[in-house]
Structure 1
Amino acid sequence: MDILRWLFDATIQIGSSQLLVREVLGNIFGLLSALSGMRRKVWAWPVGIVGNVLLLTVFVGSVFGDADTANLLGQAGRQIMFVAVSVYGWRQWSGRNTNGRALVPRWATARERGFLITALILGTVALTPLFRTLGSYEPVWADAWTFMGSLLATYGMARGLVEFWLIWVAVDVVGVPLLFSAGYYATAVMYLFYGLFTLVGFFVWMRARNASVSGAVEAFSSGSLVRR
């Protein structure tokens, strides 16, 4: 109990501001999850879930006695969503093994891309009035955008779609200014780093996809020569 009490109360003093240790730890776990996800390691999912639970307690701070923090319901809701989709992704990646990796990345089909774009826009429009009614921090549309984008990016990662990294870029472009304005500086700085990291991840997965295609073509050609 003493450890839990420390975890909920501990802060880090930076200048005139205080950062919750929970927020810092949650983002560290998130970073470890992203790094392992880039390497297509299955343990990216359980590590991410730990970070999600920690950050959930941060973004609904008033529930845990943090009266001075703004409630970001989209950010809080997406932590719950992350846990649910992470369980799905964990199952999708488990049992697969390609040269020590959980899966081989692929490009989304035209239909899948259309679905992702449409869902991001319509989901943001639909959730904005709901989050506003529930008292989320303004601009509420930005909170709704980060929620929908995070949902779709995590789903794309579970499906092995290379484009999921680009959805994260779209999330960070909106999410970083929102988090700074709401006073969640540790998470905002981490998201700023994520923005650069996701671009790297995109090219890493793209090269992995291209390498798998080249390997398949080479194997097919070799097989054809043998049969001849």
Structure 2
Amino acid sequence: MDFLRWLFEAQIPVAGSSLLLREVVGNIFGLLSALGGMRRKVWAWPVGIIGNALLLTVFLGSLFGSANTANLLGQAGRQIMFIAVAVYGWQRWRQSKQDGAGHAVTPQWASGRARIGLVAGLILGTVALTPLFAALGSYEPVWADAWTFMGSLLATYGMARGWVEFWLIWVAVDIVGVPLLFSAGYYASAFMYLFYGVFTLIGFFVWWRAKDRSKPEVETLLPDVRVGTGGRS
């Protein structure tokens, strides 16, 4: 109990202000999970779950901290979503590993239909969730909170499926999420998202190259042909 109380109350002084220790630690776990995902390691999923649990308490600020702290319901809700989808991804990658694959997943491009579904899901999901989050009292601009929620859901699902494009969805999330977090006062998460933006672009090219390397080799030499007794062998 003493450790949990310390974890929930500890703060890191920075330039006359302070950051919640659990916000910093949660984002560090998130970064480690992203690194594991880029390397296609199964441990990326449980590490991410730990970070999600910590960040859930951060973004429900008025419940776990000061009553005046802004609640980002999309950010909080996506931590719950992350945990649920992470269980799916964890099982999927573990099964792939047990089937004898060199890595937990083999990167592949999403089909044209899947890409349309991802874009449509991001836009329509944002439109549908914005009034719901507004009614629940989420921080303005509410559409940005809904965008980060839907984008995170689709990116995590894409990662579980092994789609290379999931990294680009994260870029779209970061473009909107960084200004939102700065304006709401979640500076540690905002700076981490800013770093994620660069990291996700690197991850995209890493998975792209891994996908190209995973292509089966094609025999380019013609088989030997025997011609009578003087043929090649």
Question: Match of 2:20?
Answer: 20
Larger Rg: 2
In structure 2, relative to structure 1, the CA distance for the partners of 1:217 and 1:19 (3 Å cut) is same
The 5 A counterparts of 1:195-206 are: 195-206=197-208
Q: Secondary structure in 1 aligned to 2:33?
A: helix
The 5 A counterparts of 1:148-167 are: 148-167=150-169
In structure 2, relative to structure 1, the CA distance for the partners of 1:111 and 1:25 (3 Å cut) is same
Q: Distance in 1 between matches of 2:26 and 2:192?
A: 10
**Is 2:49 aligned against 1:45?**
no
Q: Distance in 1 between matches of 2:127 and 2:78?
A: 16
Q: CA RMSD for the aligned pairs?
A: 1.8
Q: TM-score, normalised by structure 1?
A: 0.94
Percent identity, please. Answer: 73
Amino acid at match of 1:183: G
Question: Match of 2:230?
Answer: none
Q: Secondary structure in 2 aligned to 1:108?
A: coil
Q: Distance in 1 between matches of 2:173 and 2:160?
A: 17
Q: Secondary structure in 1 aligned to 2:58?
A: helix
Cα deviation per residue 1:88-117 (whole Å; 9 max; x = unaligned)?
Answer: 000110032366410110000000000000
Question: Match of 1:183?
Answer: 185
The 5 A counterparts of 1:62-77 are: 62-77=62-77
More divergent stretch after superposition (97-106 vs 117-126) = 97-106
Q: Distance in 2 between matches of 1:4 and 1:156?
A: 34
Q: Distance in 1 between matches of 2:148 and 2:36?
A: 22
Q: Which runs of 5+ in 1 are unaligned?
A: none
Cα deviation per residue 1:106-148 (whole Å; 9 max; x = unaligned)?
Answer: 0000000000000000000000000000000000000000000
Q: Distance in 2 between matches of 1:224 and 1:202?
A: 36
Q: Which runs of 4+ in 1 moved over 6 A?
A: none
Question: Match of 1:138?
Answer: 140
How many residues matched?
224
In structure 2, relative to structure 1, the CA distance for the partners of 1:95 and 1:225 (3 Å cut) is farther
Q: Distance in 1 between matches of 2:151 and 2:221?
A: 43
Q: TM-score, normalised by structure 2?
A: 0.92
**Is 2:184 aligned against 1:168?**
no
Question: Match of 1:192?
Answer: 194
- Give the helix-richer structure, 1 or 2: 1
Q: Distance in 1 between matches of 2:30 and 2:127?
A: 27
More divergent stretch after superposition (200-209 vs 96-105) = 96-105
Q: Secondary structure in 1 aligned to 2:18?
A: strand
Offset at residue 65 of structure 1 (A): 3.1
Q: Distance in 2 between matches of 1:92 and 1:224?
A: 40
Offset at residue 66 of structure 1 (A): 2.1
Q: Which runs of 5+ in 2 are unaligned?
A: 227-233
Cα deviation per residue 1:171-216 (whole Å; 9 max; x = unaligned)?
Answer: 0000000000000000000000000000000000000001111xx0
Offset at residue 8 of structure 1 (A): 0.4
Q: Distance in 2 between matches of 1:8 and 1:67?
A: 15
More divergent stretch after superposition (90-99 vs 72-81) = 90-99
Q: Secondary structure in 2 aligned to 1:174?
A: helix
Offset at residue 225 of structure 1 (A): 4.3
Q: Secondary structure in 1 aligned to 2:13?
A: strand
